[in-house]
Amino acid sequence: MPYLSPLRSVLALGSLCLAAIAFADRPEQLLALVQQNCIDCHDGQDGEGGFDVASLDADVLKRPASEKELFKWIRVFDRIHDGEMPPPDAGEMDASEHTQLVKGLRQTLDESQSQLHRQIGRVQSRRLTRDQLEWTLNDLLAVDLPVAELMPEEERTDGFRNIAQAQSMSYYHLEDHLRIVDAALDYAFVRAFSPEQPFRLDLPATRIAAKRKGQRNREPELRQDAAVVWSSSMPFYGRINNSTVKVSGWYDIALNASSIKGPEDQGQRVWCSVRSGECTSSAPLLNWIGEFEATPEASEYTFRAWLEAGHRLEIRPQDRRLKLGRFNGGQVGFGEGEPQDLPGVAMYHLTLTQVFPGGDPDRVRKALVGDLNVKWAGNKDAPKPRRGESVTDALARFALVSQKPAQDLRRRTRQFASRAFRRPANYQVMKPYFAMITQGLEEKQPPLEVLYQCCRAILCSPRFIYFTEAGADAKQTLASTAKALPGNAIGGRLDDHAIATRLSYLLTGHGPDWTLKKAADEGKLQDPAEVIKHTRRLLKGDNLDHFVADFTDQWLDLADIAFTEPDRRMYRHFDLTVQSSMVQETRRFIKTLISENVPAHQLIDAKFTWLNNRLADYYELDHKIEDDQWRRVALGDHPHRGGLLTHGSVLKVTANGTDSSPVVRGVWLCDRILGVPIPDPPESVPAIEPDIRGAKTVREILEKHRSQSECASCHLRIDPSGFALEHFDPAGRWRDNYLVRKGGSFRTGPKVDSAYQMPDGRPFESFQQFRELAADNDDQVARSFAAKLLTYATGREMTFADRKALDQIVVQTADEQYGLRSVIEASVTSPIFLNK
């Protein structure tokens, strides 16, 4: 007699007639039905997929519960809802039983999680990311300092840097925050009260070049009236010693240059790069500033970049298609490049001028002191202005002219706090700062120094560091006590200022502007139409550029574009100009989809893209672009290009520089674009290692992997998109064959086979056919876009309780074919966005 586990014995005692049971109210009956249908395969620790139905707990369904607590139940729901369980060989579940079970589980899970959200809010306390901190400080102080690099990088969750659950606030983090606040405040006050003369360099060709006859180094050489850099792979070749700046700051760079000996088939043009750094082997990291295409006729090229004191420029040809010079000894001697008939760039004039994008001293002073009457103190003993002086010295030359200094300082401090806290600061909130003013004046401190200390305290307050995202029901509590912490555990609808803040940081990365703040003050943002009006206003111009850049950096992992470098022996045409162009293509593409409200399916099958001539050539497209400008290019039904899946940026960040993996790309595509959730693999399953010798194809390796029962169901969803993208190499170009290693070189290997079938069984023979089939699921693509957008907007990954709202967004935008701007507008008026 076969062995029956205790659970099997219980179920074997009698059948359960459950069709008429109200499942949402009876978790025990839901558990019994799941166990009855799943026990054959999932009994005990050795159950298939490592899942034991006996580990399910009905009690967790009876109370408010988190995503983590409900994880196993959600996993069961998804597998049953998608028809994956019970498997076909286990016998089909009765249709009415299946419907009742899915309906009951959905209702029960949704209510359990929704209760928790109503009690403590959907999103826990979250703080400004380091980028948001930089942008917010610069707004408040009317400066433009790149201070984010002074803080540790944020931990990323699903690509996003602002997920509340992953954020921390350690002693070291707080110490970094204080250091950044001090640096920004000191810079702003000195700029306001002791402005310094901008630093400027003006370099003719003779000063750009340092190379003379008899010398060998890595600087440009003087050739007639131009400083020339030849095409070469030598590190730091093209560095310009005389461009070293003495003062850290933003600089406008203007270069007059032309190409020299450019290839005839490229119109005698030469793509070049501009980078900055110390340009030495002891400090090898270089900062990308930009690229330009030098033409035979001299032209002026302009850039704006932050340069650290002691850094200099490196300007050189940056095009792997060009012939490269050979120079011995790691140096280039005068006249060694020209005999090799090399392309190059000829520079005639270079200027670097320090600029202050945040504003002039009057604007900075107004941001700090507002309408306070501040005048020259007439103090003969005050030190003369000098570069790098202290705040104390800068303020010593000015004085507050006031009959009621305490009253004026309190008024100004409250104004500053209201901007910093992103909501009106009432008396209870301001009490500690008012006490600082009283104490400071009683101790005879200069009023402007008292104001400085108050600003410093405000910028170190939790109300500035954290988002105040309590529900509207908690508004009175927050207003009445200085001890109530921002983002406290109260759910429900956000108040107007929380909505304004969430909307502004989503679309601009900055705090609310005056127009949005006014709408919040007037209580208008509870009206969805008003939220949409401000969304449309903010999604224009520089704001749209900023939103697209920051969102795609995280959603599509574009921030990782430079994380790997394709093997130069395998992918000879890839270079930094191509890499920069890839990112620009994707950003311009997404910007167009949003501004023109293009249907969501065009994320996958768009008939256009944005190209410059370097990228068009790299993609081996026939489109001729005669200059270095970006063009919107119609692709028609091109078999290899069109849609995000064919963008070099996406293809590069989903590969490791040497190999591509159908699994890595498939999982990424399912998660980021197609909206198909893929669970983490079981710990017992080893990673898939490619065979770089070419003895086995990746398809053969995966066939063995898929044969394991715990792997098969997930690979049913992963592999179609993964194999479809195999025609693209790790550097983003189309390939018909793999490259395989042979000794120290590479040779043409097996043909790429992208044929497969979709999870629903529909076959495809090519990437083009896969793209058409994937684009058919435009509702799912739109749902996925909304989910990623709301994750970015709220700092919380989507939960089971959010599924209903996501479904509603899809329904709401169907008439516009799920246009991306429509999806954004539906998302910012959804309960997910408007509730805590």
Residue 203 has pLDDT above 70, yes or no: yes
Residue 19 has pLDDT above 50, yes or no: no
- DSSP secondary structure letter of residue 589: H
Taking the domains of the chain in order of start, what are their residue ranges?
6-120, 200-355, 558-776, 779-834
Q: Of 640, 504, 383, 611, whose CA–CA distance to 132 is shortest?
A: 504
The angle subtended at Cα 374 by Cα 136 and Cα 514, nearest 5°, is 35
User: To which H or E segment does residue 437 belong?
Assistant: helix 427-442
563-591 burial, b at 16+ Cβ within 10 Å, e below that, comes to eeebbeebbeebbbbbbbbbbbbbbbbbb
24-37 pLDDT per residue, tens: 456 777 766 666 66
CA distance 795 to 156: 11
707-739 pLDDT per residue, tens: 665 666 777 788 899 999 999 999 999 999 988
SS3 431: helix
514: exposed, middle or buried (Cβ count in 10 Å: 0-12, 13-18, 19+) = exposed
70-99 pLDDT per residue, tens: 888 888 888 888 777 766 665 666 778 778
Q: Of 25, 18, 19, 24, whose CA–CA distance to 105 is shortest?
A: 24
Among 229-233, 531-535, 549-553, 660-664, where is mean pLDDT lowest? 660-664
CA distance 318 to 344: 10
**Separation in Å, CA 713 to CA 175, 263, 596:** 48, 53, 39
Residue written as token pair 């008003």: 530
Q: What is the pLDDT of residue 709?
A: 59
Confidence grade of residue 745 (pLDDT, cut at 50, 70, 90): confident
554: exposed, middle or buried (Cβ count in 10 Å: 0-12, 13-18, 19+) = buried
Q: Of 81, 80, 55, whose CA–CA distance to 69 is shortest?
A: 55
Please state the separation of Cα 494 from the chain's center in Å.
25
CA distance 573 to 735: 13
Q: What is the pLDDT of residue 51?
A: 65
- What's the mean pLDDT in 341-346? 96
User: Which residues have a Cβ under 8 Å from the Cβ of 602 and sit 6 or more positions away?
Assistant: 593, 643, 775
Contact between 201 and 243 under an 8 Å Cβ cutoff? The reply is yes
Domain at 200-355: CATH code: 2.60.120.260
742: exposed, middle or buried (Cβ count in 10 Å: 0-12, 13-18, 19+) = exposed
Confidence grade of residue 700 (pLDDT, cut at 50, 70, 90): confident
CA distance 742 to 737: 15
CA distance 445 to 450: 7
Contact between 274 and 253 under an 8 Å Cβ cutoff? The reply is yes
HSE-up (13 A, CA, CB side) for residue 44: 7
Residue 5 has pLDDT above 90, yes or no: no
Out of 508-522, 649-663, 706-720, the most confident range is 508-522
Residue 193 has pLDDT above 80, yes or no: yes
CA distance 562 to 553: 12
Output Rg (C-alpha) for the chain, integer angstroms. 31
Please state the separation of Cα 296 from the chain's center in Å.
38
**Separation in Å, CA 719 to CA 255, 557, 770:** 49, 21, 12
CA distance 262 to 295: 8
> Cα dihedral angle (140, 142, 147, 153), rounded to 10 degrees?
50
756-787 pLDDT per residue, tens: 999 888 999 999 999 999 999 999 999 999 99
Q: Provide the whole-model pTM.
A: 0.90
The percent of residues in the chain predicted with pLDDT above 90, rounded, is 63
348-357 pLDDT per residue, tens: 999 999 999 9
DSSP string, 470-535: -BGGGHHHHHH-SSPPTT-S--SBB-HHHHHHHHHHHHTSS---HHHHHHHHTT-TTSHHHHHHHH
